[in-house]
Amino acid sequence: MPRRYNYFPCRFTARYPFVRKLMRLFQEHNYPGKLIVVEGVDGSGKSTQLSLLRNWLESRGHSVIFTEWNSSKLISKTIKQAKRSNSLIPVTFSILHATDFADRLENIIIPALKAGLIVLADRYCFTAFARDVARGVDKDWVRNLYGFAIRPNGAFYFQVPVEVSLQRIANSRLPGFYEAGMDVGLSPDPKESYQMFQSIIINEYDKMISEFGFHSMPATRPIHEQQMLFREQAAKVLGI
Across residues 125-132, what is the average pLDDT? 96
Task: Report the share of the chain in percent with pLDDT over 90.
Answer: 64
Selecting from 3.30.70.100, 3.40.50.300, 3.40.630.30, 3.20.20.80, what CATH number does the domain 31-234 have?
Answer: 3.40.50.300
Kindly report the CA angle at 165 between 160 and 166, in degrees rounded to 5?
155
Cα–Cα distance, 17 to 168 (Å, whole number): 41
Average pLDDT of every residue of the chain: 88
pLDDT at res. 11: 41
pLDDT at res. 62: 97
Q: What is the CB neighbour count within 10 angstroms for residue 111?
A: 15
Given a cut of 80, is residue 22 above it in pLDDT?
no
- Highest-scoring range by mean pLDDT, 6-20, 57-71, 85-99: 57-71
Model pTM?
A: 0.86
Task: Look at residue 24 and give its three-state secondary structure.
Answer: helix
**Of the ranges 11-15, 142-146, 190-194, 229-233, which one carries the lowest mean pLDDT score?**
11-15
List, for residues 97-106, the tens digit of each pLDDT value. Answer: 999 999 999 9
Q: Specify the DSSP class assigned to residue 85.
A: T
pLDDT at res. 13: 40
pLDDT at res. 83: 73
List, for residues 191-238, the tens digit of each pLDDT value. Answer: 899 999 999 999 999 999 999 999 999 899 999 999 999 999 999 999
4 pLDDT tier (thresholds 50, 70, 90):
low
Across residues 56-67, what is the average pLDDT? 97
Cα–Cα distance, 123 to 101 (Å, whole number): 10
Cα–Cα distance, 99 to 198 (Å, whole number): 24
**For residues 221 and 82, which has the higher predicted lDDT (pLDDT)?**
221
Given a cut of 50, is residue 19 above it in pLDDT?
no
Task: Look at residue 79 and give its three-state secondary structure.
Answer: helix
- Helix%, strand%, coil% for the chain, nearest 5: 55, 10, 35
Given a cut of 90, is residue 9 above it in pLDDT?
no
Q: What is the CB neighbour count within 10 angstroms for residue 114?
A: 11
Task: Look at residue 136 and give its three-state secondary structure.
Answer: coil
**For residues 73 and 61, which has the higher predicted lDDT (pLDDT)?**
61
pLDDT at res. 130: 96
